[in-house]
A and B are shown apart, each in its own frame.
Chain A
Amino acid sequence: MVLRVGVLGSGFAARELHLPVLSSLSGVEVSAIFGIPYEDALMLARRFKIPKVTDDWRSVVHDSSIDVVLVATPTYTHRAIAEEAIKAGKHVMLEKPIALTVKDGEELVKAYEAGGVKLMVAHCLRFWPEYVRARELMMAGRVGEPRVARAYRLSSHPGRWFRFQELSGGVAVDMSIHDLDYLRWTLGEVKRVYAVGGTYSSDSATSIDHFMATLEFENGAVAYVEGSWAMPRNFPFTTYLEIAGTKGLLTVDNQLTSTIEAYIDNSYYRYGPIYRNAYYLEWVAFLDWLNKGVKPPIEPGDAVEALRLALAINKSITEGRVVNPGEVR
Chain B
Amino acid sequence: MVLRFAVVSYAHMHAWSYTRAIKELETEGKATLEAIFDNNTDRLRRAQEVFKPRRVYNDFNRLMADGGFDAAVVASENARHITYALPLIKAGVHVIVEKPITTTVRDAVEMVNEADRRGVKLQVAFVMRYHDAVVEAKNRIGEFGRIKAITATNHGTCPYDWFVDPELAGGGAMMDHIVHVADLIRWFTGKEFEEVSAFVGRNIRPELKVEDNGLILAKLTDGTPVSIDSSWSRHGTWPIWGDVYMRMLADHGVLTINAFNQNISLADDKGFHWVGFGPDADRNMIEDFIRVVNEGSQPRASGLDGLRALEVVVAAYKSWREGRPVKISEVRV
Query: Which partner residue on chain A sits nearest B202 by CB separation?
Result: A220
Q: Is A162 an interface residue (CB 8 A)?
A: no
Given contacts A221-B201, A224-B229, contact A214 B249 (CB under 8 A): no
Contacts of B225 in A (CB 8 A): 196-198, 211-212
Q: A202-246 interface mask toward B, CB cutoff 8 Å, 1 = contact, 0 = none?
A: 000000001111111001111110101011100100000010111
Chain A: minimal CB distance from B212 (Å) = 8
Contacts of A147 in B (CB 8 A): 201-204, 213, 233
Q: Is A272 an interface residue (CB 8 A)?
A: no
Query: Which partner residue on chain B sits nearest A230 by CB separation?
Result: B249
Which of A194, A197, A215 counts the most B-chain CB atoms under 10 A from its CB? A194
Bound complex: CA A219 to CA B201 (Å): 9
Contacts of A150 in B (CB 8 A): 153, 229
Q: Is A249 an interface residue (CB 8 A)?
A: yes
B148 contacts A200, C-beta separation under 8 Å: yes
Contacts of B325 in A (CB 8 A): 194, 320-322
Contacts of B227 in A (CB 8 A): 196, 212, 224, 226
Q: In chain B, residues 259-293, which have Cβ atoms closer than 8 Å to a Cβ of chain A?
A: none
Bound complex: CA A320 to CA B219 (Å): 10
Bound complex: CA A227 to CA B149 (Å): 12
User: What does DSSP make chain A's interface, helix, strand, loop or mixed?
Assistant: strand
Interface residue range, chain B: 20 to 34
Q: Is B217 an interface residue (CB 8 A)?
A: yes
Q: Is B162 an interface residue (CB 8 A)?
A: no
A148 contacts B213, C-beta separation under 8 Å: yes
B249 contacts A228, C-beta separation under 8 Å: yes
B323 contacts A322, C-beta separation under 8 Å: yes
Partner of B219, one of A196, A200, A321: A196
Bound complex: CA A223 to CA B229 (Å): 10
Contacts of B209 in A (CB 8 A): none
Q: Is A195 an interface residue (CB 8 A)?
A: yes
Count of chain A residues with Cβ under 8 Å from any Cβ of B? 40
Contacts of A226 in B (CB 8 A): 151, 227
Bound complex: CA A214 to CA B215 (Å): 7
Q: Is A248 an interface residue (CB 8 A)?
A: yes
Chain B: minimal CB distance from A263 (Å) = 22
Bound complex: CA A244 to CA B212 (Å): 11
Bound complex: CA A242 to CA B203 (Å): 16
Q: Is B205 an interface residue (CB 8 A)?
A: yes
Q: Is A163 an interface residue (CB 8 A)?
A: no
Which of A145, A148, A210, A247 counts the most B-chain CB atoms under 10 A from its CB? A148
Q: In chain B, residues 183-215, which have Cβ atoms closer than 8 Å to a Cβ of chain A?
A: 197, 199-206, 213, 215
Partner of B233, one of A220, A244, A247: A244
Bound complex: CA A247 to CA B233 (Å): 10
12 A-B Cβ contacts within 8 A? Answer: A147-B233, A148-B201, A148-B215, A192-B323, A194-B325, A196-B225, A196-B226, A212-B225, A226-B227, A231-B249, A249-B238, A320-B325
Q: Which 7 A-B pairs have the closest CB atoms?
A: A220-B202, A244-B233, A222-B201, A196-B225, A214-B199, A212-B227, A249-B235
Known: A200-B149, A222-B199. 15 other contacts (CB 8 A): A145-B202, A147-B201, A147-B202, A147-B203, A150-B229, A196-B217, A196-B225, A210-B249, A212-B227, A222-B201, A224-B229, A230-B149, A232-B254, A249-B235, A322-B197
Interface residues of B (CB under 8 A from A): 148-149, 151, 153, 197, 199-206, 213, 215, 217-219, 223, 225-227, 229, 231, 233-235, 238, 249, 253-254, 323-325
